[in-house]
Amino acid sequence: MSNMLTPFHLAIPVSELVKSRAFYRDVLGCEEGRSSDHWVDFNFFGHQLVIHLSEQKQLEVKNPVDGKAVPVPHFGVILAWKDFHAFAEDLKQKNINFEIEPHVRFEGKKGEQSTMFFYDPCGNVLEFKTFKDMNQLFEA
């Protein structure tokens, strides 16, 4: 299998299509693609995210990571250091209610990163992060 990085595809449930569509398009800045009255495709930072209208609720669990209660399941992307910090400031200006505020995790250790968590309008948890040294992304 090739080591070339390719876009992922992720489909998530949302209970309110109109609110969710506005959030991913207007708040996160994702370009909208194909859609129907039950789903919408987005260019999610170079990946394909599809929101599907569903009334089923997701199970949420929290696990401790570096002193924080991290919501599971969650999804997101890893951004370049400067892009992460600019995006975090943009979200603060848009009054995003963070579950976990942007902060540095594992400071001074291998895998040092900045991360933040927040919910979309339907309760899906997003994490955006960046690594101080991207070469440490998969190092143990």
23 contacts 121 by C-beta, under 8 angstroms: yes
Tell me which residue of 127, 123, 126 sits closest to 57, measured CA to CA.
123
Instruction: Give every strand in the sheet of 47-53, ordered side by side.
Output: 9-14, 47-53, 39-44, 31-35
Digit-coded pLDDT (tens) for 50-74? 999 998 777 778 999 888 999 999 9
**CATH number, span 9-136:** 3.10.180.10
Domain boundaries, the chain: 9-136
User: What is the mean predicted confidence (pLDDT) over 94-112?
Assistant: 95
Q: Residue 100 and residue 6: Cα distance in Å, rounded?
A: 29
For a pLDDT cut of 70, what percent of the chain falls above it?
98
Q: Residue 94 and residue 49: Cα distance in Å, rounded?
A: 22
